[in-house]
């Protein structure tokens, strides 16, 4: 199992970028929830979740994504890993998310 890693940075345009990598399941998704509830994320005008390095995500990760989307503007920055794309597609929620595959826009 590849341990999850989550880092948070605030950008000049008011976005909070949360970078996720590794495997996320019921036992490890709490790290992502904590990062997205951090003061810099809570006060952000927009939350950007860089999921390009997510190796595995289950329904727990999906529930966090949906909860974050329901709280405010959320962008998934990719490219989306195949497994995560498949999860979002199979559950019918992919159209709910703004997905940016162009990483050149971020520093």
The predicted-structure confidence for 79-98, as pLDDT tens digits, reads as follows 999 999 999 999 999 999 99
Q: Are strands 74-77 and 98-100 parallel, antiparallel or unpaired?
A: parallel
Instruction: Indicate the number of domains in the chain.
Output: 1
- Contacts for 34 with CB less than 8 Å, ≥ 6 apart: 6
CATH of residue 37: 3.30.750.24
Q: What does pTM read for this prediction? A: 0.87
Is the pLDDT confidence value at 106 over 60? Answer: no
Q: Indicate if the pLDDT at residue 104 is higher than 70.
A: no
Q: What's the domain range around 61?
A: 5-105
* pLDDT one-digit tens code per residue, 13-68: 888 999 999 999 999 999 999 999 887 777 778 899 999 999 999 999 999 999 99
pLDDT at res. 55:
96
């Amino acid at each position: 199992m590849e341990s999850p890693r989550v880092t948070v940075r605030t950008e000049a345009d008011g976005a909070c970028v949360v970078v996720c990598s590794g495997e996320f399941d019921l036992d490890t998704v709490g790290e992502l929830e904590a990062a997205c509830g951090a003061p810099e994320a809570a006060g952000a005008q927009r939350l950007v979740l860089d999921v390009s390095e997510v190796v595995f995500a289950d329904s727990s990760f999906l529930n966090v994504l949906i909860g974050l989307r329901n709280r405010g503007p959320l962008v998934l920055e990719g490219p989306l890993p195949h497994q995560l794309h498949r999860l979002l597609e199979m559950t019918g929620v992919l159209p709910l998310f703004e997905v940016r595959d162009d990483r050149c826009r971020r520093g």
